[in-house]
Structure 1
Amino acid sequence: MNRQTTASTCCYCGVGCGVLIEHDGERILGVSGDPSHPANHGKLCSKGSTLHLTGDLTARALYPELRLGKALARSRTDWDTALEHAANVFAETIAEHGPDSVAFYISGQLLTEDYYAFNKLARALVGTNNIDSNSRLCMSSAVVGYKRSLGADAPPCSYEDLELSDCVMIVGSNMAYAHPVLFRRLEQAKRLRPQMKVIVIDPRRTDTCDLADLHLAILPGTDVALFHGILHLLLWQDWIDRDFIQAHTEGLAELKNLVHDYSPHMVAQLCGISVEQLRQCAEWVGTSPSFLSLWCMGLNQSSAGSAKNSALINLHLVTGQIGRPGAGPFSLTGQPNAMGGRETGSLSNLLPGHRDAANPEHRAEVAAYWGVEQLPASPGLTAIELFEQLRGGKIKALWIACTNPAQSLPDQNAVREALLNCPFVVLQEAFRTTETAAFADLLLPAASWGEKEGSVTNSERRISHVRRAVTAPGEARPDWAITLDFARRLEQRLRPQQPSLFALDTPAQVFDEYKLLTRGRDLDLSGISHALIDQLGPQQWPFPTGAEQGTARLYVDGRFPTASGRAQFVSDPYRAAKEQRDARFPLTLITGRLRDQWHGMSRTGTAAQLFGHVSEAVLSLHPDELRRQNLQAGDLVSLKSRRGSVIVAVADDDSVRPGQAFLPMHWGDRFLKGGVNAVTQPAFDPLSKQPELKHSGVRLEPVQLPWQLFALIEGDVQRHFEALRPLCESFAYVSLSLAGRERPALLLRVANAEAPAPQLLKDIDQLLGLNEGPVLAYDDPRRSIGKRVRIEQGRITAIRLAGETLAQHWLQNLWLKGKADEQLRRWLLAPMSAPPGAAGLIAASGKTLCNCKNVSQSAVCAGISRGLDLDGLKQELGCGTQCGSCVPEIKRLLASSAQPVAIPL
């Protein structure tokens, strides 16, 4: 085998880790961290280290597919036919309804070159600003915060500031899950300098809180009040930098008047914390030699997201904590190239080079560079607005690329109605299994990670070269190439006989054309090229022509890219979230991330190993809330909001407060019938237009679904997935997931008010291979109970329980052990379905605590019972020695085992 190694970049979060792809030129065989990459120094998280396991070709879009009517199925076609048809439809739509009748919805996972191609297509050729990105759901409030306060969308810090700071405030981010490689750096810094203070501000007690010296569990949505309360104390105690304020800022007088009313007692009551906690937080912020803040979706995904960002930046300006080592406001990007999208202008209100689409001078500059008469002046539609217009019939043709709005956008019932209502939907996508794929009239197969070349910009403004390791499968093409091919065809219809705007043949050429639009701007990267990155390594912008290295920190001279050259204090009052608890909806739903899954799971959802830690969607409630609702862990409930509902199992979790509920954001309709975003809300920030995905009013209603089904099938999980999911549409509750490592399997759990028609069970058994062969079977028609277990060469390979499923965990554990014993045969032939021991209430002991080393929770607990400490567990089991994501959980198990036991007298 011709084994090769190609240095590239991870395709998940905005940390931008360097990876080494091991391959044979055709297949990706393994992945490891790149020790030479400055973002991660060889470290990878559980997601990045399993990238090679996400290349399941059965989940990939391999060939163009087209349907010529909504009632018809798509059929395979060739690229010429597909793109000619798309060009005809777009040209006819533009001619009949105008350029704003079409729109493009793209992705923070695209490469910078892909972004630039889409922007030039939309604005220079089509003549519309209707091009937005799913970064609107991710980073747009951070964009507004930086621009309003500092003058430009430019995070001023570097990752090394994590090691250099004396006080780190993490706000609205479960950094341990969302950006684990950076969190490991922070953990190491805290170990080396225990005097470093770590403050975590989050309504939930997450794994990130385990590192905190102070956890402020504020009530959801009260961040602005908290920051104003801290500022009030900073001013009162004179913990401010008067020289910096006088020399480099404007607007403090107005802000002082505003925060005067945010007294400690009022803020503590409003935020649900103690006055002592507030004072301690303010003291550390105001007296530490360096102060660094880190934030993510908890601040951004809010109807007050822009105000939250600016209120946090105010704390840095009043203390002069910016432009210095270990200091500054540092937003953590959610997607691998959301920064590159912002740089190229891939939000409807932006243009390339950090220009504004509403600015006539900016439009004229870009138009002149592109060689067109003018760019469109009418405002473009942001994501939520776009889908509202789509639903209303004003958008006639929509091009979606590398994103999954039928899973990720809030108010999914409205989104899916909009997609159904659109006359022509194009989906440019690597995975044909996404929820959005079902709505596509034209599916264009795109190259994926490891198969295309270009560049990305990470959270610290560092540009990396993404290199191709293998050829894309089937007829998949790089996104920039698809976009430019379509653009040239559309160009022949919209501006015939004119020189092409899209005479670009390589990603390097695309980048070199784009970078000159940044010359002289705050992000000047005119000195960077793919070849230079290959020579010098990844570089931070600005990197102007002639520079020899990138820029580690911004604003070191105290000058800001505002009209006056001064940073601006922003005075926004606290406004509560749009949906507050009330009699009809007495709970606040918070959404967030899982450790081993990413976004809508189009990629991670193909790797069974990544389901080991959390295997299915579960709604977390405080034990007191469970009791108040008269629920037990494992019960199914209907989670209802003003927009829709989803049936989900509940679990007790004291990391959330009573009155709150937590549900991971990853579970779409493919894995959980209805999906999480059936209940989230589309209310958005008035400036950033970012929706309030984090905060919805909900209630729980009990459901009576006594008939249940559990199925497990080894083998081609994606094929089984596609075959089984449609058969389950009639059931009230449907949950699918994967399990296993060496022998991946599909797991299906359903519940319904009554038993289905016998033929449906026969169809399911047929798919599971349980209608014939070495199958043990038991049926009790009177009680609508049936059991099927397929055993091949002494191993369980398929299971189906119908009617009730008490034995599901026991059987799943037997399957994990890889053998069928005599107990199984005795249980199967018994009239009752409970497994041996505990009346069938055996919880699955197979939860994987450490995904990197495949160490189960039961193995860790067994080691603890033998007296092993953390170092001993690492040495004996290997857990916590690779990415380290499991360490906080292991520490909690160690702590709980050390709790003293009360002995009654």
Structure 2
Amino acid sequence: MNQPASPASPLETKSTCCYCGVGCGVIIEHDGQQITGVRGDPDHPANFGRLCTKGSTLHLTATPDSQVVRALYPELRPSREAPRARTDWDTALRHAADKFATVIREHGPNAVAFYVSGQLLTEDYYVFNKLAKGLIGTNNIDTNSRLCMSSAATGYKQTLGADSPPGCYDDLKHTDCLFLAGSNTAFAHPILFRRIEDARALNPAMKMIVVDPRRTDTAEQADLHLALLPGTDIALYNAMLHVMLWEEWIKPEYIGAHTEGFDVLRRTVREYTPAMAAEICGLTKKEIETAAEWFAHGGDASKATMSMYCMGLNQSTHGTHNNAALINLHLATAQIGKPGAGPFSLTGQPNAMGGREVGGMATLLSGHRDMDNAEHRAEVAKLWGIPSVPEQAGLTAIELFDAMAAGTVKAVWISCTNPAQSMPDQNLVRKALETCEFVVVQEAYRNTETARYADLLLPATSWGEKTGTVTNSERRISRVIQAVPAPGEARHDWDTAVDFARRLGNELGDTHTSALFPYTNEEDIWNEHRESTRGRDLDITGLSYATLEQQGPQQWPFPQGASGGKARLYEDGIYPTASGRAKFVATEHKDTVEKADARYPIRMTTGRLRDQWHGMSRTGTVARLYAHEAEPMIHMHAADIDRRGLKDGELVRVKSRRGEIVVKALASETVRPGQAFLPMHWGSNALGGLGTNALTLKSFDPYSKQPELKHSAVQISKYVPGDSRPLVAMRRVEAGTNALEVLEELRKQTADMPQAALTMIGRETPVVVLKAQTEALSADQQHALDVALSLADDTQCLSYQDKRRDIAKRARIDNNKLAAVRLTGEIKGAGWLQDMMVNGGTATQARQWLLAPLAEAPTGVTARGKIICSCFDVSENEISAALKAGESMEQVQARLKCGTNCGSCVPELKRLQSR
């Protein structure tokens, strides 16, 4: 709740971070109208006051300048050929209700669909789910959680009986072996990784095993890094179980009393010898045997093993079985239901768990109920006061966009997600959005890739403006409390959905719509959701908004009459299955859908960076968050770069069977020869073309329907520019000018440049940077670009041109500082010029370089290099130079302060120290 403060102090409101599923508590500082700061909540049990680089800069995403990219009022497109124009809410929702009602009357309820988000609050999710399944009568509601968490949920259900992570963060303090699989926790869940570091400091004997094809920052800290080949997890886990059986490290008493199906699994893993699996996985026999021994502790039941896993297991065509194969190890060794033990799925989004709780997916019903269960359907229908809910499972994410492209889904409502950046096979996704007759986008940011396709754009509230609840990875529910008013005409997602539902019900002649959607506030919705959980595995009937506000975040289950939530599940060995026993699932190794071959010889994986989030609609507004990795680069082994006649930092063409992009190559020790890594965050807003997901494929797991976003086969070749020339343009954005306005204008001017990358760097005074390969610009194009760069006035600019070498340089110097520059044809000095602009250095050397035909930077001038510590703007080169000069890491940290604030850069500091 809002806390009073002295007149000189800001107001404070407790809330949660809106990024990953760790669910960190934050304290929002504000003046009642504007957010002014943020810090970690020391009382929140997820983070105890810590925040990562993204969380600690949340207030910078809510500045007045950020309203440049916010959706502030409804916009309606009168026809597909016309641009959207501002309209009022009444007109917007009447139009939407009319369009949806017309499609439903003419083509049936399954001709409409909703695609929502793991970033919605639980109350938002609940209303959308009820709108689709209760009012319209379609199960066509799915979520971007399908892309990240559905295999984990399905794996839990197949083995343990319910989508209920059995452990908690506190287990890290009690475990003796931490098994991290398919998760670069140091980057994807940084505050949880801080807790891992704390646990290892308290227990130096604790073993950490990391299973990942790449040598990530997480893997660098492992006692054992299993750098398996992509997609071979099942062979590894089956071989580990084979070793445990051979060495008699399993627990027959637990297996006999609390599980079923082990005999079938035993026969399956008999074939998976360590030698066989080593060949499949690209590991050594010894590595597999060591992993099995550490996991089972040589049969010592007094020790505990905890596994944590994420997208590396989930984003696969056999993701459900990846999860099940790992859970099999826990069940076979009785490593579950006790402190420090159990399989723990790391949630990718802040409320993916809450969405699963309310059944907000095409294959689920409220309260962890199953759609194919008639009794469950009847329970939901009774709760909602309707005759029935539809039996047939709805279209999941990939199926939904296929149906849109085919024209069978004719109206879609997209809320709080950006499928035109995040979905695989972007060419097909864009076709689907263009084909669908009516596209509603309910969004806080009007500049997302998906917003371009909206026939109706509806402004939504965002972080700091919303109120409701979220559930994090450890089943912990937190209150989200509004700190400041919504900007412009933005409305809460649930409020818009309720208003639309009532209007749609009237259009369809449903006289019970008001009774179906009686809500006047968020708490009304939450109370109904709470009742839907009564008697279920996630029973929260003992909770209320008041409890959460007075006693803080609570874990479920928390049934009526309980004094607290349950930290660990299955301590009694009883599982929510028909028999009360957990189920072993016999899994077999299957390869990735695409295999490396002569045409596509590189196995490319995708993943997250430390300082960016999803499609960057929020993090992309903060200049300092680009400093760690300023543009998308494909990480390649040096041997693969040499083999192709490439150079580190050179532009390359990356091509899959679905599309291609142009990015820089980065020589990296983190990947094997024949493999590459490309960050997932860049779409067409910040990168020419369609971004990373132009390359990925839509093939999905048959059980979870989650696509294999993690792996694609690609070819990588030297980018041959043809008639184009390299272009680098930069503008230092001084106080009084909105950097996002400059960025948006440059985005507009470079929309047709397929090899363009846009970024911002710096801190108090950001620098907007454009890097591109482009054909000769027309006079009008050049003028528009120079206007955006503040380089249009000849009387204020310095120019150099060498027509013979096709080189042009143009710059503006204000108060002896380089304020803007455009380099065409020759860009070798761009790195140090960029540093000069960021750091506000004098422009004497720049002036000498700009007015002469020099190809290199002046003697003795070097670029700072990659920024390791975003909090204090410390570069890799500075840290390495200090270590080389004989300073200890402790001395470096004391002098430069790197790693002393949020701690997100600590794993990289350790890596630099170990070189």
* Fold equivalence (TM over 0.5): yes
Counterpart selection for 1:8 from 15, 37, 44: 15
Residue aligning to 2:581: 566
Structure-2 change in CA distance of 1:496 and 1:685 (3 Å):
closer
| 1:578 corresponds to 2:593 | yes
2:647 aligned with 1:653:
no
Return the match for 1:327 from 341, 356, 364: 341
Matched, 1:273 2:294: no
Q: What's the CA shift string for 1:368-388, capped at 9, x where partnerless?
A: 110111111222000000000
* Selected match of 2:68 from 47, 58, 63: 58
In the TM superposition, what is the alpha-carbon distance from 1:799 to its structure 2 partner?
1.2
**Local SS of the residue matching 2:210:** strand
Residue 887 of structure 2 is aligned to residue 856 of structure 1: no
1:748-796 Cα offsets, whole Å, 9 max, x none, are 00013x4233432222112211111522111233433211111122222
Aligned to 1:519: 534
Counterpart for residue 4 of structure 2: none
Q: For residue 282 of structure 1, what is the amino acid of its counterpart?
A: A
1:522-577 Cα shifts (integer Å, max 9, x gaps): 11011111111011110000001111100000000000000000000001211111
Is 2:419 the partner of 1:373? Answer: no
Matched, 1:422 2:436: yes
- The equivalent of 1:810 in structure 2 is 832
Bigger mean CA deviation after superposition, 29-38 or 792-801: 792-801
Name the CA distance, whole Å, in 1 between partners of 2:79 and 2:499.
24
Q: 2:466 aligns with which of 442, 452, 476?
A: 452
Report matched runs for 1:784-799 at 5 Å.
784-799=806-821
**Contact 1:755-1:784 within 8 A present in 2 as well:** no
Q: Which whole-Å CA distance do the structure 1 matches of 2:741 and 2:361 have between them?
A: 36
Map Cα deviations across residues 315-370 of structure 1 (whole Å, 9 max, x no partner): 00000110000000000000000000000001100011001122221111111110
Match of 1:206 among 198, 216, 226: 216
d(CA) in 1 for partners of 2:513, 2:437: 31
Give the Cα–Cα distance (whole angstroms) in 1 for the partners of residues 913 and 363 of structure 2. 51
- 2:141 corresponds in structure 1 to 131
The match for 2:605 among 579, 587, 590 is 590
2:133–2:390 Cα contact (<8 Å) kept: yes
Secondary structure of the equivalent of 1:733? Answer: coil
Q: Please point out which of 286, 302, 306 is paired with 2:296.
A: 286
2-structure distance, mates of 1:505, 1:449: 21
Contact 2:766 2:838 in 1 (8 A): no
The CA distance in 2 between the partners of 1:221 and 1:193, in whole Å, is: 32
- Residue number in structure 2 paired with 1:485: 499
Contact 1:117 1:483 in 2 (8 A): yes
In the TM superposition, residue 855 of structure 1 has moved relative to its aligned partner by 2.0
Aligned to 1:463: 477
Paired with 1:817 and 1:747, the residues of 2 have a C-alpha distance of 14
- 1:243-642 alignment, distance < 5 Å: 243-287=253-297, 289-498=303-512, 500=514, 501-642=516-657
Measured in 2, the distance between the counterparts of 1:505 and 1:843 equals 61
Tell me how far apart the structure 2 counterparts of residues 495 and 505 of structure 1 sit (CA, whole Å). Answer: 22
- TM superposition shift of 1:817: 2.5
Pick one of 882, 892, 895 that aligns with 2:914.
895
Structure 1: how far apart are the matches of 2:893 and 2:453?
47
1:733 paired with 2:755, answer yes
- For residues 391 and 844 of structure 1, the distance between their equivalents in structure 2, rounded to whole angstroms, comes to 47
The whole-number CA distance in structure 2 between the counterparts of 1:830 and 1:498 is 77
State the aligned residue count. 892
Per the alignment, residue 192 of structure 2 pairs with: 182
Letter paired with 1:34: D
When structure 1 is superposed on structure 2, of 192-201 and 805-814 the one drifting more is 805-814
- Quote the Cα distance in structure 1 between the aligned partners of 2:748 and 2:899: 40
Kindly provide the amino acid, as one letter, of the partner of residue 21 in structure 2: G
- TM-score when normalising by structure 1: 0.97
The two structures, once aligned, show a CA RMSD in angstroms of 1.3
Which letter maps to 1:248? H
Counterpart CA distance in 2 for 1:365 and 1:681 is: 38
Q: Which runs of 4+ in 1 moved over 4 A?
A: none
Counterparts of 1:182 and 1:310, CA distance in 2: 23
Q: 2:171 aligns with which of 137, 161, 165?
A: 161
1:742 alignment counterpart: 764
Q: Tell me which residue corresponds to 1:903.
A: none
2:159–2:327 CA contact under 8 A, matched in 1: yes
Contact 1:598 1:666 in 2 (8 A): yes
Which of 842, 854, 874 matches 1:820? 842
Judge which range, 601-610 or 802-811, deviates more: 802-811
Displacement, 1:727?
Answer: 2.5
SS at match of 1:367: helix
What is the CA–CA distance in structure 2 between the aligned matches of 1:832 and 1:888, rounded to whole Å? Answer: 39
The answer to whether the aligner puts 1:25 opposite 2:27 as a matched pair is no
| Alpha-carbon separation, structure 2, partners of 1:178 and 1:603 | 16
Matched AA of 2:133: R
Q: Aligned equivalents of 1:785 and 1:891: distance in 2?
A: 43
Contact 2:818 2:846 in 1 (8 A): no
Amino acid at match of 2:866: K
Deviation at 1:495, TM superposition (A): 3.4
Structure 2 equivalent of residue 104 of structure 1: 114
* Structure 2 runs not aligned, ≥5 long: 1-7
Residue 612 of structure 2 aligns to which amino acid in structure 1? Q
The sequence identity of aligned pairs, in percent, is 55
Conservation of the 8 A alpha-carbon contact between 1:709 and 1:800: yes
Q: Secondary structure at the match of 2:603?
A: strand
Residue number in structure 2 paired with 1:39:
46
Aligned residue for 1:222?
232
Whether the 8 Å CA contact 2:135–2:513 is kept in 1: the answer is no
Q: Distance between the aligned counterparts of 1:200 and 1:24, measured in 2?
A: 45
Cα distance in 1, alignment partners of residues 812 and 371 from structure 2 = 62
Query: Is contact 2:167-2:342 (8 Å) kept?
Result: yes
Shift of 1:499: 5.4
Report the AA paired with residue 401 of structure 1: S
Once the two structures are overlaid, the 10-residue window that deviates more, 782-791 or 526-535, is 782-791
Query: CA offsets per residue over residues 479-514 of structure 1, 9 Å max, x none?
Result: 111111111111111234335111101111110011
2:248 counterpart residue number:
238
For residues 542 and 853 of structure 1, what CA distance do their matches in structure 2 show?
42
Is 2:726 the partner of 1:719? no
**Aligned partners of 1:679, 1:293: CA distance in 2, in Å?**
31
8 Å CA contact 2:832, 2:864 repeated in 1: no
Provide the residue aligned with 1:844 in structure 2: 863
Q: CA deviation at 1:870?
A: 2.1
Q: Does 1:85 align with 2:101?
A: no
Which of residues 776, 795, 815 is equivalent to 1:755? 776
**Residues of 1 paired with 2:486 and 2:260: CA distance?**
53
State which drifts further: 695-704 or 757-766: 757-766
Partner amino acid, structure 1, of 2:801 = D
Q: 1:843 to 1:352 in 2, by over 3 A?
A: farther
Q: CA deviation at 1:2?
A: 6.0
The 1:192–1:630 alpha-carbon spacing in structure 2 relative to 1, beyond 3 Å, is: same
Give the partner amino acid of 1:872.
Q
| Partner Cα separation in structure 2 for residue 551 and residue 495 of structure 1 | 45
CA distance in 2, matches of 1:7, 1:518: 26
C-alpha distance in structure 1 between counterparts of 2:231 and 2:622, whole Å: 35
Deviation track 1:451-496 (CA, whole Å, cap 9, x = no partner) reads 0100000000000000111011111111111111111111111234
SS in 2 for 1:520: coil
**Aligned residue in 1 for 2:5:** none
Find the residue that maps to 1:590 and give its secondary structure.
strand
